[in-house]
Amino acid sequence: MDQSVQTSATYGEITTQATAWEEALTIVAERAQELGDLWAHGRFDMVLFTGCGSTYYLALAAAALFQELTGVLARGVPAGELVMYPRAAYPAGGKTLLVAISRSAETTETLRAVGSFRQDRQGKVIVVTNYGDRPLAGMGQVTIAIPSGQEQSIAQTRSFASMYVAITAMAAVLAGRKDLWQAMHGLPECGARLTRQYEPLAASLGSDLGLDRFYFLGSGPRYGLASEANLKMKEMSLTHSEPFHFLEFRHGPKSMAGPTALVIGLLSDENRAYEAAVLRDVQALGARSLGLGELAGEQGQVDVAFVSGVPEAVRNVLYLPVLQMMACYRAVAKGLNPDQPHNLDAVVRLG
């Protein structure tokens, strides 16, 4: 393996993230009573997840999963939109729970969105962050802070995954699915194994400069994760990449499929037949594909097999490490520093 990759902070954060997953599960367990009380007494009609950049994509993934598990309407909206266009984001009536997600707990748009929500709608707020001693952390009725997810790098990897695990566990708790919550304790060991097992594949694909475009496909609760994987490729390696829902890729974007394209599918169990067919389509057009999923299965197309035994609803974090690693290797192959993406800062502060 390329030593310049392994000595980067980003590489270390990707390969140690399973520890942060464990802490996320522990902290949700400690907050379970508070979360349950807030949920029971709130009788919420809608849950709004918000964040910026990576955490907006986390909000998209979280909202889809939360609605799937609890049956309560949930949406993911960028914090900036809550600031600028609140009437387009919030329902006219009913009780809304706001879940604010921020690695730093200092992002200006998120602070303003939560402040306005508390003042104008007097609603309840849950904060998910990696820094429990910063401004946003003090603005929630319940705060889930995961210190071991903190990072030196600008691009979010370990932090994103730790907060996603926490929100997944929170959704299972509030849905009354103790079985799912308990099953999640198998994720850290599996995540660490996948990172070791598939690093050579991530390095090979990431370092292949014959590829010039990457498309990340995911549907349902996996679309937000496909969007985040796409963002990592853009941020770290300045490579053309886009996310799509699986079946939407056929409606125009497949015109970009060809020998220099890699189409990456976050494959589900439930809809594997539909999703694998899309990957076969792009292969027929000359593009390369990479499929990630639990098992190879009869539809095939799985190159990264989790073999986790964890129920599908709560194992989605397993898609992340190999794709994060791929972006890290590509950055170095292009002579870039994955720790310091071009034109970016760790925290966006507005005047």
Give this prediction's pTM.
0.95
Cβ 59 vs Cβ 49: under 8 Å:
yes
Number of Cα atoms under 13 Å in the Cβ half of residue 325: 27
In the listed set 123, 151, 176, which residue is the last one of a domain according to the structure? 176
Classified as helix, coil or strand, 51 is strand
263/329 same-domain check? yes
Query: Quick check: 296 pLDDT over 80?
Result: no
Instruction: Calculate mean pLDDT across residues 183-207.
Output: 98
Helices (H), 175-307: 178-183, 187-197, 199-206, 223-237, 272-284
Residue at 23 is within a domain: yes
In this prediction, residue 72 carries a pLDDT of 97
Query: Quick check: 298 pLDDT over 90?
Result: no
164/194 same-domain check? no
What residues have CB less than 8 Å from 88, skipping those under 6 apart? 81
CA 262/CA 258 separation, integer angstroms: 8
Number of domains in the chain: 2
Query: Quick check: 42 pLDDT over 90?
Result: yes
Q: What is the mean pLDDT of the chain?
A: 94
CATH number of the domain to which 131 belongs: 3.40.50.10490
8/136 same-domain check? yes
Residue at 351 is within a domain: no
Q: What is the pLDDT of residues 208-248, one digit of tens each?
A: 999 999 999 999 999 999 999 999 999 999 999 999 999 99
Assign 126 a pLDDT band (cuts: 50, 70, 90): very high
Residue at 343 is within a domain: no
Q: What are phi and psi of 271, to 5 degrees?
A: -120, 30
Residue at 339 is within a domain: no
Using alpha carbons, select from 230, 224, 316 the residue that is nearest to residue 270.
316
Assign 115 a pLDDT band (cuts: 50, 70, 90): very high
Q: Which residues form the domain of 296?
A: 189-333
